[in-house]
Amino acid sequence: MAESRPSWPVLASLGVTALGIIVGLLAWLFPVADGVKSEGRRSSDAAEAGAGGAAPSGATAQPTEPKVPTATPEGSASPSAAPVSPALSGRTPEGWAGTWRGSTSDNEELIIVNLRAGKEGQAVGTIEWPVAPCKGELTLLAVIGEKLVIHEVITEDPKATCRAEAKIDFTLKGATLFLGGSEWGKEATLRRA
């Protein structure tokens, strides 16, 4: 009895099928979108695939972007609501908005700061030094982690006693706003007025 061997078209077909399965598996494990390798498969993608949400054959599933928390409209936030992290939003969070009053640690100069929400490059408030008496504008330069870098420019200085401009680091911890920075040369602690 003669043995029958599979013909080369059958072997080629099996090879192409195996290659297709391997390529598909690699594409599923290591997706590439717009020529940029993603960070890997997200658990939500695996859940969708298991729930019948897999991409149709031949289509590449696009990774979803992480959701960034949005700020609550003014007047609707509860007092216990946590402010949006500046690192996530790229803006002055609305939780920082309001009037803050305090003094410097070195010579007890009174400071009043009025802050409002805004983006980098925008005016986000005013600063007053009532004893000097000086007033100025505050512009948001950068958001670095949980710190805002603010540019102070004095606009009113009748006695010519205030520094014309400086960079100030603003850090909010709980209900206390800390001002400092090496360029500013001072430290201050303010509380909501």
Cβ-based neighbours of 59, under 8 Å, separated by 6 or more: none
DSSP 113: E
Distance CA 48, CA 63 (A): 12
Mean pLDDT by 10 residues, the chain (193 residues): 64 75 68 46 40 45 42 38 48 81 84 93 94 95 89 95 93 91 88 92
pTM: 0.54
pLDDT of 54: 44
pLDDT of 38: 42
